[in-house]
């Protein structure tokens, strides 16, 4: 929460890449996803979390970049809530 207050992160956006995920970072740069602030959760997590490929993840992040709005963030929030309450897609 401190990083959100400081303006370094947002609630919804692409999850921060790990230092060893050069392939993910390269795809994000190629598609301008790197211009978004990292988020606690995002469109890619709602649509598959770690069950999708890096290419699919970046495609969802590109879609988020194009559709970014308060209403789209609200949709993500509602979907996260329903998946957490319903325990959908939780593998561990």
**Residue-wise pLDDT tens digits, 37-87:** 999 999 999 998 778 999 999 999 999 999 999 999 999 999 999 988 876
Q: Please tell me the pTM assigned to this model.
A: 0.85
The pLDDT value recorded for residue 89 is 56
> Tokens 């979907």 identify what position?
79
Judged by DSSP in three states, 4 sits in: helix
The pLDDT value recorded for residue 91 is 58
Give dist(CA 82, CA 32) in Å, integer.
Answer: 30
Q: Are residues 43 and 60 in contact, defined by beta-carbon separation less than 8 angstroms?
A: yes
């Amino acid at each position: 929460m401190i990083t959100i207050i400081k303006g370094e992160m947002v609630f919804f956006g692409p999850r921060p890449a790990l230092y060893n995920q050069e392939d993910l970072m390269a795809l994000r740069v190629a598609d301008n996803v790197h211009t978004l602030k990292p988020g606690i959760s995002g469109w890619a997590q709602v649509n598959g979390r770690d069950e999708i490929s890096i290419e699919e993840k970046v495609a969802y992040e590109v879609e988020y970049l194009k559709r970014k709005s308060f209403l789209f963030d609200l949709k993500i929030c509602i979907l996260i809530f329903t998946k957490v309450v319903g325990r959908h897609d939780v593998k561990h």
